[in-house]
């Protein structure tokens, strides 16, 4: 049986005349990796800050690990791990010194040497933080986020600025943590990252949840038409957008007596769906909803 790690209803937050969150609802189950997507200014970081108790909300009900983050105490905070967008490790300390130092802040920390190995920094234990590469510093940030053995880990844009190799190494680390049963909430701009890591996703646009579901569900529910491509010997490359690509292929098979030259079917990607739901391409999230 699964249990909720996070339950949010009617979450609202304004900054002066700007509405950052306008009635957000979320349900995140224990042990899942939950991704939050959205353009800059959509309310992703504000949502995460409220979940961690770092920022007050205006209205709405928020329950994280059974408590309200706005009034929870130190015991609750020790159950939450946070990886900020900005680096938090002191530059002059070594990796070993840093992780051992932060372990003292928690009542039941993980073994610091075990955590260093978990994030793949065994070879850098004597290196000063300022001498680490960007990817290595980010691994250290994750080590500090999990040293308290959190039940919930909040990651806010964790791989911004990573090269492709460092990003994929970081994904493997997140998979290890998820396999241990840690609930992970991830905000990211990278659609490939969201699809690789998240069990479920929420797309936030203009302060509201435009859609929620698994990556496959979002593609099926909000994807545009499939495109069938083929080559006509007489006229060259051809294509047709259709909601019934199998029927189109069957018609082409009859036309070409079985073998269709250059056949290719392109289906909507998660990026296509995200751009439409977030209002950045092909209409707004409201348009998507109203069309159904």
Residue extents of the structural domains in the chain: 4-219, 222-290
Q: How far apart are CA 273 and CA 269, in angstroms?
A: 7
Q: How far apart are CA 204 and CA 245, in angstroms?
A: 30
Q: Is the pLDDT of residue 7 over 80?
A: yes
- Under the banding of pLDDT at 50, 70 and 90, the label for residue 88 is low
Q: How far apart are CA 261 and CA 21, in angstroms?
A: 50
Do β-strands 183-187 and 152-156 pair in parallel, antiparallel, or remain unpaired? parallel
CATH number for the domain running over 4-219: 3.40.50.300
167: its two tokens: 């990003």
pLDDT value at residue 280? 54
Name the average pLDDT for the chain: 87
Of 96, 90, 97, 93, the C-alpha closest to 128 is 93
**From the centroid of its chain, how far is CA 152?**
14
pLDDT value at residue 184? 96
- The burial class, CB within 10 Å (0-12 / 13-18 / 19+), for 127 is middle
- The answer to whether the beta carbons of residues 212 and 290 sit under 8 Å apart is no
Order the strands of the 183-187 sheet from edge to edge: 80-83, 152-156, 183-187, 33-37, 200-205, 208-213
- CA 255, 256, 259 angle in degrees (round to 5)? 135
Q: What is the pLDDT of residues 100-145, one digit of tens each?
A: 999 999 999 999 999 999 888 999 999 999 999 888 888 898 899 9
Q: Is 252 helix (H, G, I), strand (E, B) or coil?
A: helix
- The answer to whether the beta carbons of residues 195 and 270 sit under 8 Å apart is yes
pLDDT value at residue 87? 64
Which of the two residues, 275 and 211, has the higher pLDDT score? Answer: 211
Q: What is the largest CA-CA distance in the chain?
A: 75
Q: Is the pLDDT of residue 216 over 70?
A: yes
Q: How far apart are CA 236 and CA 259, in angstroms?
A: 16
Do β-strands 226-232 and 33-37 pair in parallel, antiparallel, or remain unpaired? unpaired
Q: Is 275 helix (H, G, I), strand (E, B) or coil?
A: helix
Q: What is the pLDDT of residues 231-272, one digit of tens each?
A: 998 889 999 988 888 999 999 999 998 899 999 998 877 888
pLDDT value at residue 169? 83
């Amino acid at each position: 049986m699964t249990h909720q790690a996070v339950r949010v209803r009617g979450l609202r937050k304004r900054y002066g005349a700007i509405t950052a969150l306008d009635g957000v609802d979320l349900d995140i189950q224990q042990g899942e990796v939950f991704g939050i997507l959205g353009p800059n200014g959509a309310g992703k970081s504000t949502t995460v800050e409220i979940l961690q108790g770092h920022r007050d909300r205006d209205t709405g009900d928020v329950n994280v690990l059974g408590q309200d983050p706005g009034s929870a105490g130190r015991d609750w905070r020790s159950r939450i791990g946070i990886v900020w967008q900005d680096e938090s490790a002191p530059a002059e300390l070594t990796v070993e010194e840093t992780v051992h130092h932060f372990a003292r802040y928690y009542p039941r920390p993980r073994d610091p040497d075990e955590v260093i190995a978990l994030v793949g920094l065994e070879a850098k234990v004597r290196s000063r933080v300022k001498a680490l590469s960007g990817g290595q510093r980010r691994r250290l940030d994750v080590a500090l986020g999990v040293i308290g053995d959190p039940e919930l880990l909040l990651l806010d844009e964790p791989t911004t600025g990573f090269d492709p190799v460092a990003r994929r190494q970081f994904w493997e680390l997140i998979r290890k943590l998820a396999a241990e049963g840690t609930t992970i909430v991830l905000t990211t701009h990278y659609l490939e990252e969201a699809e690789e890591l998240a069990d479920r996703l929420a797309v936030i646009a203009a302060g509201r949840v435009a859609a929620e579901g698994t990556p496959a569900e979002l593609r099926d529910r909000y994807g545009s038409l499939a495109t069938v491509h083929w080559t006509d010997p007489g006229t060259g490359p051809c294509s047709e957008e259709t909601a019934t690509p199998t029927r189109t292929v069957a018609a082409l098979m009859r036309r070409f007596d079985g073998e269709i030259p250059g056949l290719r079917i392109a289906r909507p990607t998660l990026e296509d769906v995200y751009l439409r739901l977030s209002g950045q391409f092909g209409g707004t999230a409201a348009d998507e909803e109203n069309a159904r």
